[in-house]
Each structure stands twice: as structure tokens, then as C-alpha cells.
Chain A
Amino acid sequence: MTYKLKEELNKKERFAQGHRLCAGCGAGVAVSAVLRALDEEDKAVVSNATSCLEVSTFIYPDTAYEDSYIHSAFENAAAMTGGVETAYRVLKKRGKIDENFKFICFGGDGGTYDIGLQSLSGAMERGHDMVYVCYDNEAYMNTGIQRSSATPRFADATTTPVGTKSYGKIQNKKDLTAIIAAHGVPYVAQTTMLGNFRDIHEKAHRAIYTEGPCFLNVLAPCPRGWRYGMDDLAEICRLAVDTCVWPLYEVVNGKWHLTYEPRTKLPVSDFLEKQGRFAHMFRPGNEWMIDEAQQYVDEKWENLKARCE
């Protein structure tokens, strides 16, 4: 498959314009990119965990989805999608439907790393033929930027505020991609929106067209929570990848592969300084924070490289 963004953009949009996500939000861009990876002749049922995405794209009576869509709660999206997929298999077996459907579920990091982890783990273990896409914006943005287990250390979130006795979040980010890979599912990948969108497109296509449960973790920056200018989404994504804060890789049938290695690994401060949530790290006397952040990213990156073939 030769990927050409222009041709892909000529496909009929499955995620309609006019949704109510913020300007500069990564979630909507991620959803468009993933849904564009569906072959045009295939139908899909798109599902959501309760999230910014859900409350901005299906406000009664308007839906932003051209495909069938279902949402029911915050913590159950994977199990619910498994129910839809099971119904598809049985109705097909019974001759009640004949079209091909794909099942793509989107949840934020709160609904995936935290409250929905059990439901996701169960659905992955049971082997439903579905793709779960986490759009990771590293905090509970829908309720007002509270920390999640996906929030990185030092980030200023509303439940880990920076103060005279606090430097922001204490703990490092949970490595969810590795946790899902440990389920032994056929395809797991980390991606984000870069350049001509080839990386996210190819990974989404592979996830959608690999039989069995597949998982994509998409870094999806949030201009409100991360405090960057709304024009800067693409640059923030690029810096996350080139600093190795968000490495791009995939795990195919248990084999780990890096899908991108920066020619020059940039210092983590290049990524941090663009965002208001890390502003306190650049105050005099706080140099140790940047040092520790750099050490952590370096360690994770070396471990990942050692794991990849």
C-alpha cells in the first residue's frame, strides 16, 4: 500500500466537521486520522467512553459520526464494544446481517489508564475483534485537568497543583502500552499525529484489519490542559516524538519494533518549555526537575530500544 495523504483526504469524511471540540485539540485530529484508515466499503460501529470527545461529538440530536455510534458510560467502553462485536458475530452466523463491520472504540486516558482499565483488560483478554484507541491527553480534561495515571511527573494539574510545597505530580506516567502488550494481543502500537499522518494511518489500518483485539495509544495534546497555543498542536506532537518522550513503536504478535528513531534526539526541555503545565520547571532553582525528567526519558528510551528488534 502506497500511502498518499492527498488521496486519503479525498475519501468521504467519517468524522464530520462541526463537532464541538476545542480549536487545537488533538483528540478530533486523532479520531479523523484513525477513521480515515477504514476501507471505504467497510461499515463501522464507533464507540466512546465518556470523555471530552463524547460530549463534544454526540450532543442530542446531532452526531458527528457518519457510522453507527454508541456510548454508555465512562469505565465500560471496551466491554460495551465487545458486546456490539459479539452481537455482530452471532447475527452474522444466524444470517440476519451480511455486511462487514469494524469496531473502533475511543477513550481518553482517564477512561483507559484509570477507571476503564479493568473493562479494557477483560475485552483484550477475551479476544474481541475490535480496536481500542486511547487518545491520551495526559489528564482528566473533560472535568477540568485533574491528574490521571497518564499524567507525567512534574505536570501542574488541578489535583496536583504546583505550590510552595508541591512541584506538581509526584509519580511518573503509567506505561499502559506495555501493559496491553503484556496481554498477548496481536497488535499494539504507540503513535501520534505527525507530518503527513502516515504513522497513525498505517498503524490504525493495521489495527483495524488485524483479526482480534488491537490497541492504539495515541498521544493527543490538549491546548487547555497543556497550555500551548492552539496553532502549536503539530509542533508539540513532533517534539514529543523527537525528544523520545513519546516513542513510536509497535508490538506485532509479541515482537517489539521501533517505527521511528529521531536522527537527533532532542533534549526533553524542548518539549517541556512549550507548555504552561511545566513552566515551574524552568524557574531558577528547579533545574533538578528538568534533569530528572531527562534521566527518566533516557532510561525509558534505552529500555525500549533494548526490547525492540
Chain B
Amino acid sequence: MRDRMSGNEAVAFAMKQIDPDVMGAFPITPSTEIPQYFSKYIADGEVHTEFVAVESEHSAMSTCIGASAAGARAITATSSAGLAYMWELLYVAASSRLPIVMAVVNRALTGPININNDHSDSMGCRDSGWIQIYAENNQEVYDNYIQAMPVAEHCRLPIMICQDGFITSHAVENIELLEDEQVRSFVGEYDPEHYLLKKDEPLAVGPYGISPYYMEIKKGQAEAMKESRTRIYEVAEAFAKISGRSYGMIEEYMMDDADFAVVLIGSSAGTAKAAAHGLREAGIKAGVIKVRVFRPFPWEELRKALRGVKAVAVMDKSEGFSGWGGPLFAETRAALYDLEESARPLLQSLVYGLGGRDVTVSTFEAIYEDLARTAEAGTVEHIYRHVGVRGDEEGIQG
């Protein structure tokens, strides 16, 4: 069925169709609308979920941990400082192997306070043991959310379904929704093997894990994360059958013969595609790679897709403060290490869009022009640069 809704409403609508057991949530811009919409569904008897209106995000995640360990399907939604406040418990959820589903509406972290979009919140917890899936638009965030539980519950790993604050969370777009029955049969019943409330089988969760055991637990998580890739593909394939929409770890746009490419995450991919499309008409072989799944990291897919491209800008919507580029850049660059030198692209890091700084088609045109110059020169002059910063001579303007 066709409808028009914002990204936040699309997530809340997916939640309603799934009708999970427990939601613990706390308001924070720009994710607040999700628990708001959801509370209205509860108030109108459209879902049977217990909503726990906690006093903080820390307690939201604690509620989800308790509920999930008890055998319930537990969900939450947050942004920015809220996600940062949960940080300690993200590791607990992951190490306890609880398949909690969290809708993240990406927003800048405070310092200075800013409510607009970038990815510093979820990039800050990229190593917490959660699967992370990002969306370009409202349709994708809805589709990703429907796929979240079948992935998380099979892998016994928690999952973040991320979208860009305001850009997709508040913008209303056309959307293709599945029927309730389709969603319910696709997501299925949650039937964990062990849980606190299981009849005649007590369970203890959250031990003091001393040195002779701690590493085995961590290795178990690491293996689960590696194997989740297979499950992500399986679920995407099953989803394509009911929706006609296909997803992978990354999306390649005009990459078959691309000389120049940008690699990025989230809503800016649409703008990049528009720019690439325009440049193709002018005979410039531009392409785009959108990273959909950041955890587990799609290193094989990136290595294959970037093989032989002349020059590539890896674009981070978060400042890693590593001194030489953002996290997507660092990991993409590492993924290309094994390529033979002739197939290895010239690579640079571009940090962009922080705190909602706009990027437009002309910004991407400037980036592609710069990549062409880099390819011509055969060397990367500045490996680590910023986009659209006033007075920044080394950076990219446009």
C-alpha cells in the first residue's frame, strides 16, 4: 500500500505492524516522534506493547536489557546524547547476546549543542558489538526496520536501525508499506531458547566474567558479528521476495566502469547520485557507493567494488579526531590494503555535514572535479580534508 509519511512515522508504523512486547524510551530530538507515534497506537489499542516511559535513556536501555533477558521482544529509539548516555549498556546488551532493536535517529553530539544530523552518535558506539544498518530515505528505514528482528534474533546480537535526523526523520516522502499480515509473518514470533521466565529452567544473566572466561565470551560475540553478514543477506533476499526491493551490505550506483567514486553513508547518497548522474551525461565516469551496513563492516564488498577505480573520496559525517580521517575512511582504506597496487585507488578522507552542514549537488560536483585532478596528478595531495568549512583553503568548497 502507498502512503506518505516521515521517517519517524515510518519507523513507528513498522513497530506497530510488528507489535513487539516492550518499549522503553525517553524523549530526545529528533527521535522523540517515534515513541510519541507509538504511544498513540497504544492509546488507541492498535498495539499490545507495554510502553515504559523511563526517566532517562540509560534506563531505557536497562529496561530493554531486563525485558529481552526475560524473553520479550524489546525495542527503543534514541538520538545523540541519549545514545551516548546508553553507551555503557550497549556493551552489556551485546555481550549478553540480547537481540534488542534500537531505532537511531542520527544527530550530532553536543560540544557545542546541536540538534541536526551527523553520524557522530552511532559512530561513537560502532565498536560496542551492535549490528548497524543505515538508511538513505524513508522507504529504506522502514524496510530496514522490518528486517531488523529476523537478523538480530537469529544472530543473537542487538541491532541499530539508523536514519538521518530531520533529513529523513522529519521529511515526508511517498512510501510503499507492506500489509500487516505480511510483516507479521515475515518477522515471526520471538521464541528464544533461554530466558529468565522460562518454565522449570532458571537462567542467570550478567556474570562476573573473570580472565579465564572473558575472552571466550568476546570471541563468541566476534564470531556472531562475522557470521551476521550471511544472515543479513538471507533476510534481504527473503524481504525482496515480499517487497520487490533489494538490499545488500552496500549499494553501488554507476560503479561498473567508474573512474571516480564517493563512499558514504545515509541520506547524502541521494544527492551524490544526482551529481554522478549529471556528470555521466557530461562524459565523466562518476559513481557512488552507499554503505548500508557498517557493522559488520562490508570490507569484501568494498574491496570488490573499488577495485580499479582511479580516485575515491571516503566521506565521513563524523569527526573521528584520529588526525588523519574519519572512521569510514580508516576502515575502507584498510579494506583496500590487500589489493594489488595497480588496482588500488587513490584514496582521501572527506569529513562533511557535521551538525547538519548542508551538502548539495554542487558540493558533490566539486568533489568529483577534485577527484579528477587527483587522478590526473597520480597522487593525493591532502589525505584528510573537510568539506564546506569557511576559510578552509585545504578543504573542498562548493
A176 CB within 8 Å of chain B: no
Q: Which of B54, B58, B68, B196 contacts A75 (CB 8 A)?
A: B58
Could you tell me the distance between the alpha carbons of A76 and B202 in the complex, rounded to whole angstroms?
A: 22
Taking the closest CB of chain A, its distance from the CB of B93, in whole angstroms, is: 8
Could you tell me the distance between the alpha carbons of A55 and B210 in the complex, rounded to whole angstroms?
A: 10
Contact B64 A59 (CB under 8 A): no
| B-contacting 9-mer, from A27-35, A79-87, A220-228, A236-244 | A79-87
Residue of A nearest to B26 (CB): A122
A231 CB within 8 Å of chain B: no
Could you tell me the distance between the alpha carbons of A69 and B203 in the complex, rounded to whole angstroms?
A: 6
A6 CB within 8 Å of chain B: no
Give the number of residues in B that approach A within 8 Å (Cβ atoms).
43
Contact A60 B66 (CB under 8 A): no
B62 CB within 8 Å of chain A: yes
Contact A97 B208 (CB under 8 A): no
Tell me the residues in window 47-69 of chain B with beta carbons closer than 8 Å to chain A beta carbons.
48-50, 52-56, 58-59, 62-69
Could you tell me the distance between the alpha carbons of A8 and B166 in the complex, rounded to whole angstroms?
A: 60
Q: Which of A66, A84, A122 contacts B66 (CB 8 A)?
A: A84
Tell me the residues in window 255-291 of chain B with beta carbons closer than 8 Å to chain A beta carbons.
none
Check A99/B52 contact, CB under 8 A, given A60-B210, A75-B58, A83-B74: no
Residue of A nearest to B49 (CB): A90
Contact B96 A72 (CB under 8 A): yes
Tell me the residues in window 192-211 of chain B with beta carbons closer than 8 Å to chain A beta carbons.
196-199, 202-210
Taking the closest CB of chain A, its distance from the CB of B15, in whole angstroms, is: 14
0/1 string, A80-116, CB within 8 A of B gives 1: 1111111111110110111101000000000000000
Check A58/B206 contact, CB under 8 A, given A75-B58, A80-B63: yes
B330 CB within 8 Å of chain A: no
Contact B63 A79 (CB under 8 A): yes
A178 CB within 8 Å of chain B: no
Residue of A nearest to B21 (CB): A90
Q: Within 8 Å CB of A79, what residues of B?
A: 24, 54, 58-59, 62-63, 66
Could you tell me the distance between the alpha carbons of A80 and B208 in the complex, rounded to whole angstroms?
A: 17
Contact A65 B204 (CB under 8 A): yes
A67 CB within 8 Å of chain B: yes
B70 CB within 8 Å of chain A: yes
0/1 string, B62-89, CB within 8 A of A gives 1: 1111111111101000000000000011
A11 CB within 8 Å of chain B: no
A63 CB within 8 Å of chain B: yes
Could you tell me the distance between the alpha carbons of A73 and B96 in the complex, rounded to whole angstroms?
A: 12
Contact B65 A80 (CB under 8 A): yes
A119 CB within 8 Å of chain B: yes
Contact A122 B206 (CB under 8 A): no
Check A86/B208 contact, CB under 8 A, given A91-B21, A122-B54: no
Q: Within 8 Å CB of A83, what residues of B?
A: 22, 24, 52, 62-68, 70, 74
Could you tell me the distance between the alpha carbons of A98 and B200 in the complex, rounded to whole angstroms?
A: 12
Q: Within 8 Å CB of B65, what residues of A?
A: 70, 72, 80, 83
Q: Within 8 Å CB of A76, what residues of B?
A: 58-59, 62, 89
A129 CB within 8 Å of chain B: no
Residue of A nearest to B88 (CB): A73
Contact A69 B66 (CB under 8 A): no
A269 CB within 8 Å of chain B: no
Contact B62 A87 (CB under 8 A): no
Taking the closest CB of chain B, its distance from the CB of A19, in whole angstroms, is: 12
Check A94/B48 contact, CB under 8 A, given A63-B207, A122-B55, A126-B53: yes
Interface residues on A, range: 35 or more
Q: Within 8 Å CB of B204, what residues of A?
A: 58, 63, 65, 68-70
Q: Which of A91, A93, A119, A121 contacts B70 (CB 8 A)?
A: A91
Q: Within 8 Å CB of A119, what residues of B?
A: 55-56, 58-59, 62
Q: Which of A59, A93, A118 contacts B208 (CB 8 A)?
A: A59
Taking the closest CB of chain B, its distance from the CB of A128, in whole angstroms, is: 9
A45 CB within 8 Å of chain B: yes
B321 CB within 8 Å of chain A: no
Check A70/B196 contact, CB under 8 A, given A82-B66, A84-B70, A91-B21: yes
Q: Which of B59, B96, B203 contacts A122 (CB 8 A)?
A: B59
Could you tell me the distance between the alpha carbons of A236 and B64 in the complex, rounded to whole angstroms?
A: 40
Check A90/B197 contact, CB under 8 A, given A72-B89, A80-B63: no
Taking the closest CB of chain A, its distance from the CB of B188, in whole angstroms, is: 14
A71 CB within 8 Å of chain B: yes
Taking the closest CB of chain B, its distance from the CB of A153, in whole angstroms, is: 30
Q: Within 8 Å CB of A58, what residues of B?
A: 204, 206-208
Check A71/B58 contact, CB under 8 A, given A83-B66, A94-B48, A101-B197: no
B92 CB within 8 Å of chain A: yes
Contact A80 B207 (CB under 8 A): no
Could you tell me the distance between the alpha carbons of A166 and B203 in the complex, rounded to whole angstroms?
A: 48
Q: Which of A45, A61, A122 contacts B196 (CB 8 A)?
A: A45
Contact A86 B52 (CB under 8 A): yes
Q: Which of A67, A91, A93 contacts B202 (CB 8 A)?
A: A67
Could you tell me the distance between the alpha carbons of A93 and B203 in the complex, rounded to whole angstroms?
A: 22
Could you tell me the distance between the alpha carbons of A80 and B51 in the complex, rounded to whole angstroms?
A: 14
Taking the closest CB of chain B, its distance from the CB of A5, in whole angstroms, is: 26
Could you tell me the distance between the alpha carbons of A83 and B65 in the complex, rounded to whole angstroms?
A: 7
B213 CB within 8 Å of chain A: yes
Q: Within 8 Å CB of B88, what residues of A?
A: 73
On B, residues with C-beta under 8 Å from A are 21-22, 24, 48-50, 52-56, 58-59, 62-72, 74, 88-89, 92, 96, 196-199, 202-210, 213
A-B contact pairs, 29 of them (CB 8 A): A45-B70, A61-B207, A65-B204, A68-B198, A68-B202, A68-B203, A69-B203, A72-B66, A72-B89, A76-B58, A79-B24, A79-B59, A84-B196, A85-B66, A86-B63, A87-B50, A87-B70, A87-B74, A90-B22, A90-B48, A90-B50, A97-B71, A97-B199, A118-B59, A119-B55, A121-B55, A122-B59, A126-B52, A126-B53
On A, residues with C-beta under 8 Å from B are 45, 47, 54-55, 58-61, 63, 65-73, 75-76, 79-91, 93-94, 96-99, 101, 118-119, 121-123, 125-126
Ranked nearest first, the 9 interchain pairs of A and B with the lowest CB-CB distance are: A83-B66, A122-B55, A87-B70, A79-B59, A87-B72, A83-B63, A79-B62, A60-B207, A76-B62
Given contacts A63-B207, A76-B59, A87-B22, 8 further A-B contacts (CB under 8 A): A45-B197, A70-B65, A72-B65, A80-B63, A96-B71, A101-B197, A119-B56, A122-B59
